[in-house]
Structure 1
């Protein structure tokens, strides 16, 4: 990596030049550098609102970059070890969907684990591709889904040699990685593209002693949430491509759905954050790993909680582990993860990333300090002392293997009817149901509804999980395919 070049931030520099020019705005946005919306200026500051501008020649255009955005893309590609990098302003959802839509058309098969983010299945609704699921292993103590075993991936590839792509999470929300290098090798033997969701793996490109990144493993495309562990503004991400991908075609796919009015606040934040990680990432993520290790040790000494890490590696479904992740199992103190999540926020003013039925995740990144971690540890000790109870009868299973009957697209657009949740057993769902975060569907369009799934949804609602997806906002009814 050319560290002198990485000191550049072309979009940021262009905005600084623009700010000094005192341009008279007869273009959009209509707030005209904030003059028309004083409350917005009060909230965000004049400096911020003053660079909320539209695409213009000196600032380039995200739909067809030829100058400063093109330079920013080239610097990002170099920093991430990619052949090309696209700046994305629709979040990693947009990047994930662009990967799938670039490879798949109606009727194509795509091999993927079922514990993908909803954005992947949304893309299948849009393009009509057929999912071929590799059911991930489950850790029954923790109640979480793991990575894909290579043997399972190999079997599914051999059974579906006409599939066009293999999709991999690297890592999962909990920090678990599959054997990405081997999966890439297997897929490429069958001329399948490898698409990687690295929403939670930005730091793999810049830290040391972390799992392999998608680009280093030889994957064809990767979606990277720069706004998660990378420090850019919310909703800003990168889409990376390898040498055997037609970047011009990918740009066309991105432009099918991405805004033509890209926010320069988001674009400049990507540019500045890439520079920051290229210059200081190794040191910054070293501190994050140290902090996470300290937190795990302190939490495990409380007793009852289990903050898990690399000791779980098994060379297969947990091939590697992201040691920046602070995942904590809570069931042994008699509380669901979502209950601990709510108590931390409501009684201790601590906002963690999410809680599911058995675990919580506290997201550590370059902005965390030891004093905040100590506050979290002390709150968890206090919660155990005040709220500890017997765990009998508590559910832990986070993953229920689906019964796929139809493609997501066929079922999403099919004739449907709304039924009370308890009357849907045996019917085919035509919408999504998930807890958010993490946004992994419990039910996706085209899957059969079972007793286990109904029980899970009812239990998750009772425990306070944020349920999303269905048309009915109370999630008391589900849309199912109408029976002829």
Structure 2
């Protein structure tokens, strides 16, 4: 096979050719290159709407690619050192679900950390797979969950040798990385697949001095959010495949839930962004790393805040740290992370990724500049000056070890009824409760509701966290399993 030219962008190039042909459209979408919706054309631009098109022979078809999308997949696989790459237009959520549903059917066990994104637990609800949860360690100073310990994974494999796969978050929202290589080797020795939620790890494939990527570690599948740090449009991602899975089977699983009307805006953004990173990713992420390191140093000079990084590495549950992540502990100035998040947005016009009970996260990527980071640092300094107070009475942890009673699928589809959250202690939850972002459940279907969980939910609401997951939009009632 001839060497692939990463300077090519087949989908983008095909769209440019399509525009030049001046085709008269009698297909969907109905806006007909924007002519049918002038307000939308004015808002998004004629150039954008002219390539918001339907699948056709010259542009290929996402559900069964044979030409330009197929070539773009091959280029993406080459760029990420994978055996195959799928273009995902339903977000990394669909990539995570496709990974799990490709290797697990109803009743199959999967070893999984409990601090996963809700998309992974949703896959268990849909597929009927049975989770074997490995509770992450906790950093008591920061109150955040860590990575999966090799010893705990080894024990889970010994206790459940029939499990089909091991699922990992790498990196976590906070930048914590697990020992991917060792866990992958361990799982493969027991004929288990390794699936990696690598939503925040696009840069691992292109930057120098980064933690190991899932494909380099030998993982079987990885879900990569190109839109988070790779520059593509929101909702666009890659699902990468290693040497073991059958790509044809994985595509069938993807096509169970992914749209048959793949957006060419999303597809072309993946194609162009892959080309940019393949050609210049080393320089791009060197700049990102430098910006993040600069901001971390300046924030730590303020005092009170703690912008943490590689000093947390312990060789196991924190095997490595993603230094592009600007995670900052805020509790020592007497403010919850969500309070700092709100003040930054409301008073300073600065939107960060999320704030939780004790920390904030600012995503640093290809689009950031030093001047913007200086503005963030200055705002944090002023917030400390204006709001500094004693931290008495503040909760000190982000993660509560759950008591699993029944599987997520059993709970979700069981007979159920609503209770006030404050009256629900001792019952089995039929729903999620989570702060979004990051979308890691405080409570998931099938878990026992405890007084500690109720107090955490109440505290998070008081501090201003955006809670979601229950049918009750006010998050005042929760549906519980009828026992």
Q: Could you say which residue in structure 1 is the equivalent of 2:130?
A: 130
Shift of the 30–223 alpha-carbon distance from structure 1 to 2, 3 Å rule, reads same
Q: Could you say which residue in structure 1 is the equivalent of 2:277?
A: 277
Runs (5+) with no aligned partner, structure 1: none
Report the Cα distance in structure 2 between the residues aligned to 1:172 and 1:112, rounded to whole angstroms: 14
Q: Residue 132 of structure 2 aligns to a residue in which SS?
A: strand
Report the Cα distance in structure 1 between the residues aligned to 2:20 and 2:91, rounded to whole angstroms: 30
- Deviation of the 1:4 alpha carbon: 6.7
- Deviation of the 1:466 alpha carbon: 0.5
Q: Residue 447 of structure 1 aligns to a residue in which SS?
A: coil
- Deviation of the 1:3 alpha carbon: 8.5
Output one character per residue of 1:286-306: Cα deviation in whole Å (capped at 9) or x when no partner.
011111110010000000000
Q: Residue 442 of structure 2 aligns to a residue in which SS?
A: strand
**Segments of 4+ moved more than 3 angstroms:** 1-4
TM-score, structure 2 normalization: 0.99
Q: Residue 110 of structure 1 aligns to a residue in which SS?
A: strand
Is 1:215 aligned with 2:215? yes
Output one character per residue of 1:69-119: Cα deviation in whole Å (capped at 9) or x when no partner.
000000000000000000000000000000000011000000011010000
Q: Is the 8 A contact 1:117 1:438 kept in 2?
A: yes
Shift of the 299–113 alpha-carbon distance from structure 1 to 2, 3 Å rule, reads same
Report the Cα distance in structure 1 between the residues aligned to 2:226 and 2:396, rounded to whole angstroms: 31
Q: Residue 270 of structure 1 aligns to a residue in which SS?
A: helix
Q: Could you say which residue in structure 2 is the equivalent of 1:319?
A: 319
Q: Residue 194 of structure 2 aligns to a residue in which SS?
A: strand
Output one character per residue of 1:120-167: Cα deviation in whole Å (capped at 9) or x when no partner.
000000000110011100001101000011001101111100000000
Q: Is the 8 A contact 1:3 1:278 kept in 2?
A: no
- Deviation of the 1:396 alpha carbon: 2.1
Q: Could you say which residue in structure 2 is the equivalent of 1:74?
A: 74
Shift of the 377–410 alpha-carbon distance from structure 1 to 2, 3 Å rule, reads same
Q: Could you say which residue in structure 2 is the equivalent of 1:267?
A: 267
Q: Could you say which residue in structure 1 is the equivalent of 2:347?
A: 347
Q: Could you say which residue in structure 2 is the equivalent of 1:457?
A: 457
Q: Could you say which residue in structure 1 is the equivalent of 2:100?
A: 100
Q: Is the 8 A contact 1:416 1:482 kept in 2?
A: yes
Output one character per residue of 1:364-423: Cα deviation in whole Å (capped at 9) or x when no partner.
001100000000000000000001110001002101001001010010000000000111
Q: Is the 8 A contact 1:3 1:279 kept in 2?
A: no
Q: Residue 291 of structure 1 aligns to a residue in which SS?
A: helix
Report the Cα distance in structure 1 between the residues aligned to 2:308 and 2:321, rounded to whole angstroms: 10
Q: Residue 5 of structure 2 aligns to a residue in which SS?
A: helix
Report the Cα distance in structure 2 between the residues aligned to 1:3 and 1:396, rounded to whole angstroms: 53
Report the Cα distance in structure 2 between the residues aligned to 1:15 and 1:46, rounded to whole angstroms: 14
Report the Cα distance in structure 2 between the residues aligned to 1:179 and 1:244, rounded to whole angstroms: 20
Is 1:290 aligned with 2:290? yes
Superposed, 1:220-231 pairs within 5 Å as 220-231=220-231
Report the Cα distance in structure 2 between the residues aligned to 1:43 and 1:456, rounded to whole angstroms: 42
Q: Could you say which residue in structure 1 is the equivalent of 2:310?
A: 310
Report the Cα distance in structure 1 between the residues aligned to 2:433 and 2:183, rounded to whole angstroms: 29
- Deviation of the 1:204 alpha carbon: 0.2
Q: Is the 8 A contact 2:327 2:360 kept in 1?
A: yes
Shift of the 129–4 alpha-carbon distance from structure 1 to 2, 3 Å rule, reads closer
Report the Cα distance in structure 1 between the residues aligned to 2:265 and 2:357, rounded to whole angstroms: 37
- Deviation of the 1:2 alpha carbon: 9.1
Report the Cα distance in structure 1 between the residues aligned to 2:108 and 2:146, rounded to whole angstroms: 26
Output one character per residue of 1:45-66: Cα deviation in whole Å (capped at 9) or x when no partner.
0000010000000000000000
Q: Residue 167 of structure 2 aligns to a residue in which SS?
A: strand
Q: Is the 8 A contact 2:90 2:236 kept in 1?
A: yes
Q: Could you say which residue in structure 2 is the equivalent of 1:15?
A: 15
Report the number of matched residues: 483
Q: Could you say which residue in structure 2 is the equivalent of 1:241?
A: 241
Report the Cα distance in structure 2 between the residues aligned to 1:421 and 1:391, rounded to whole angstroms: 26
Q: Could you say which residue in structure 2 is the equivalent of 1:386?
A: 386
Report the Cα distance in structure 2 between the residues aligned to 1:3 and 1:140, rounded to whole angstroms: 50
- Deviation of the 1:9 alpha carbon: 0.1
Q: Could you say which residue in structure 1 is the equivalent of 2:258?
A: 258
Report the Cα distance in structure 1 between the residues aligned to 2:310 and 2:283, rounded to whole angstroms: 21
Q: Could you say which residue in structure 1 is the equivalent of 2:177?
A: 177
Report the Cα distance in structure 2 between the residues aligned to 1:265 and 1:475, rounded to whole angstroms: 35
- Deviation of the 1:244 alpha carbon: 1.0
Q: Could you say which residue in structure 2 is the equivalent of 1:374?
A: 374
Q: Is the 8 A contact 2:4 2:75 kept in 1?
A: no
Output one character per residue of 1:148-196: Cα deviation in whole Å (capped at 9) or x when no partner.
1100110111110000000001100000001000000000010000000
Output one character per residue of 1:186-229: Cα deviation in whole Å (capped at 9) or x when no partner.
00010000000000000000001010000000000000000000
Q: Is the 8 A contact 2:4 2:78 kept in 1?
A: no
- Deviation of the 1:482 alpha carbon: 1.3
Report the Cα distance in structure 2 between the residues aligned to 1:354 and 1:2, rounded to whole angstroms: 45
Q: Could you say which residue in structure 1 is the equivalent of 2:156?
A: 156
TM-score, structure 1 normalization: 0.99
Runs (5+) with no aligned partner, structure 2: none
